[in-house]
Amino acid sequence: MTRWMPTLLAAMLSFAALPAHAQLAASLKIPKKNHLAGEPVMAVVTLTNHSGRDLSLHSDGRHQWLDFMVKRSDGSPVNIRKRPLFGSMKIGAGQTMAREVNLSEHFLLHDPGNFTVTGVVKMPGQTVEGTATNRAFFSQINSRPYWSQKVGVRGGNTREFRLIQFSAESKTRLYAQIVDGRTAQFVRTFPLGEILQLRKPLVTIDRQQRMHTMFLATPTLWVHCVVDTDGGLVNRQIHRRPPQGDPKLLTLADGTVQVVNSIPYDPKAEAVRRSATRNASERPAIPY
């Protein structure tokens, strides 16, 4: 996954006489330092053009204008899953642009441990040398599943659903993780949302081999998520706690799963209601 984030900067000086590697400033940042093993590792590469002229960066069949080197803490390289292919990009003189890259799509980042990543940007005409970014650090951490269940899928294979509570950056999130039964590789790992540990999350499987989970997100709101065997988030709904008891997941005789003892919560409708209440309270009192 990539995304462009252009930001225009005023070009104050021209550096056309400098060597090629000094004409392009490159930096790299990993916004999130600690990851649950298997979840996407996002890197942001920022480029500033100091050449005094527009630059066109492009790739061909043999050379790429942007590449990455990912290593473990012992210095050994992480194997490539799929080499990224970046299309042409034009950076105007004095312009700064950033690209966000999902390293997990291009490298086999499944194992726990500490890692470093460096980006390399090649100017037009460069084939060997390039402009290296700083080295950024990140970690991947295994966490024991709160719940797991294997289910059969088409073709005679199996998938394993896992529900994991993972704490990082002073927050605890509930993650869904799907593992392929044949290869033992992660199909997808992603957060469902922040969780309050005042209540244990509820989880079950419906007749369509989908995982239903329901967890406490705030003191009064519960979140219900439905995840399929390919790691797709089929549905996500918010429910308010009723006056008595907590919301529950109920599995019916036909294998369908329903949320019971809850009040459906619509954030948009709630915002309209609060706005109307606030406007009414701001009206001047009628004198008698």
pLDDT at position 55:
84
pLDDT at 219 over 90: yes
pLDDT tens column, 47-102? 999 888 888 887 776 677 888 999 999 999 999 987 777 777 888 998 998 889 99
Question: Rounded mean pLDDT of 150-157?
Answer: 92
d(CA 17, CA 42): 35
pLDDT cut 70: percent of the chain above it: 83
Question: Rounded mean pLDDT of 253-277?
Answer: 83
Residue 270 main-chain phi, psi, to 5 deg: -65, -40
pLDDT grade, residue 278 (50/70/90)? Answer: low
pLDDT at position 24:
83
pLDDT at position 114:
97
Whole-model pTM? 0.78
Contacting residues for 13 by C-beta, under 8 A, at least 6 apart: 50, 52
In the three-class reduction of DSSP (H, G, I as helix; E, B as strand; rest coil), residue 24 is classed as strand
d(CA 152, CA 62): 42
pLDDT grade, residue 279 (50/70/90)? Answer: low
Residue 109 main-chain phi, psi, to 5 deg: -100, 80
pLDDT grade, residue 242 (50/70/90)? Answer: very high
pLDDT tens column, 159-200? 999 999 999 878 899 999 999 999 998 999 999 999 999 999
Across the chain, mean pLDDT equals 85
pLDDT at position 252:
97
d(CA 108, CA 78): 7
More confident residue, 186 or 128: 186
Which listed CATH number (3.20.20.80, 3.40.50.1390, 2.60.40.2970, 3.30.2270.10) goes with 2-141? 2.60.40.2970
pLDDT at position 262:
94
pLDDT grade, residue 207 (50/70/90)? Answer: very high
Question: Rounded mean pLDDT of 129-142?
Answer: 91
What's the burial of 192, exposed, middle or buried (CB within 10 Å: 0-12/13-18/19+)? Answer: buried
Range picked from 5-9, 80-84, 150-154, 277-281 for highest mean pLDDT: 150-154
More confident residue, 276 or 109: 109
Question: Rounded mean pLDDT of 130-144?
Answer: 92
pLDDT at position 253:
96
CA angle at residue 42 from 40 to 44, to 5 degrees?
170
What's the burial of 138, exposed, middle or buried (CB within 10 Å: 0-12/13-18/19+)? Answer: buried
